[in-house]
Structure 1
Amino acid sequence: MDIDAFVMAHRGTWDRLEHLIRRKGSLTGAEVDELVDLYQRVATHLSIVRSGSTDAVLVGRLSSLVARARSAVTGAHTPAWRELARFVTVTFPVVAYRARWWWLATAFGFCAVSAVLGFWVAGDPEVRAALGPPEMIERLVEHEFADYYSENPAASFAGQVWINNAWVSMQVIAFSIFLGLPIPWVLWQTAANLGVSGGLMGAHGKLDIFFGLITPHGLLELTAVFLAAGAGMRLGWTAVDPGPRRRGEALAEQGRAVMSVALGLIAVLLVSGLIEALVTPSGLPTWARVAVGVVAEAAFLTYVFVYGRRALRRQETGDIERAPDFAPAS
Structure 2
Amino acid sequence: MRQEDFVRRHQSEWIAFEHWLDARGQNAKQARQSRREWQGLGDFELPSRYRRLCQQLALARRRGYSPVVTERLQDLMQRGHGLLYRTPAPRWRRAVEFLIAGFPRLVRAERGCMLASFVLFWLPLVVIFAAIQWKPELSASLFDPMQLMQFENMYDPADPARKLGRDSGTDMAMFGHYVWNNVSIGFRTFASGLIAGIGAIVVLIMNGIMIGGVAGHLQAVGHGDPFWRFVAAHSAPELTAIVIAGGAGLRLGLALVAPGQRRRADALLEAGRRGALLCVGVLAMLVFAAFVEAFWSSIAWIPAWIKYTVGGVLWTLTVAWLLLGGRDRAHEDAPA
Matched, 1:106 2:120: yes
2:262 matched to which residue of 1? 246
Match of 2:152 among 122, 141, 152: 141
2:284 matched to which residue of 1? 267
Distance 1:125 1:37, change over 3 A: closer
2:107 matched to which residue of 1? 95
1:35 and 1:108 map into 2 onto residues whose CA distance is: 46
Moved more, 85-94 or 273-282: 85-94
* Contact 2:201–2:250 (CA under 8 A) maintained in structure 1: no
1:125 and 1:83 map into 2 onto residues whose CA distance is: 43
Q: Deviations over 1:31-72 (max 9, x none)?
A: 99899769989xx9xxxxxxxxxxxxxxxxxxxxxxxxxxx9
Distance 1:119 1:273, change over 3 A: same
Aligned length, in residue pairs: 308
2:190 matched to which residue of 1? 173
* Contact 1:173–1:229 (CA under 8 A) maintained in structure 2: yes
Distance 1:139 1:167, change over 3 A: closer
Greater helix share, 1 or 2? 1
2:45 and 2:286 map into 1 onto residues whose CA distance is: 42
Opposite residue 310 of structure 2, the aligned amino acid is V
Matched, 1:186 2:214: no
2:118 and 2:203 map into 1 onto residues whose CA distance is: 17
1:36 and 1:230 map into 2 onto residues whose CA distance is: 36
1:297 matched to which residue of 2? 315
Structure 1: gaps of 5 or more residues = 1-25, 45-71, 323-330
Structure 2: gaps of 5 or more residues = 1-25, 32-40, 56-81, 157-162
* Contact 1:220–1:293 (CA under 8 A) maintained in structure 2: no
Q: CA deviation at 1:295?
A: 1.1
2:87 and 2:123 map into 1 onto residues whose CA distance is: 44
Q: CA deviation at 1:232?
A: 1.4
Matched, 1:221 2:238: yes
Give me the identity figure in percent: 22
Q: Deviations over 1:51-98 (max 9, x none)?
A: xxxxxxxxxxxxxxxxxxxxx9x9876323356425521344332453
2:106 and 2:172 map into 1 onto residues whose CA distance is: 32
Q: CA deviation at 1:258?
A: 1.7
Q: Cα RMSD between the aligned structures?
A: 5.3
Structure 1 ranges of 4+ moved more than 4 A: 31-41, 74-77, 123-128, 136-139, 143-147, 247-250, 318-322
Q: Deviations over 1:239-284 (max 9, x none)?
A: 33345x4245544443322222100112212221122112212121
> Normalization by structure 2: what TM-score?
0.63
2:144 matched to which residue of 1? 131
1:95 and 1:125 map into 2 onto residues whose CA distance is: 34
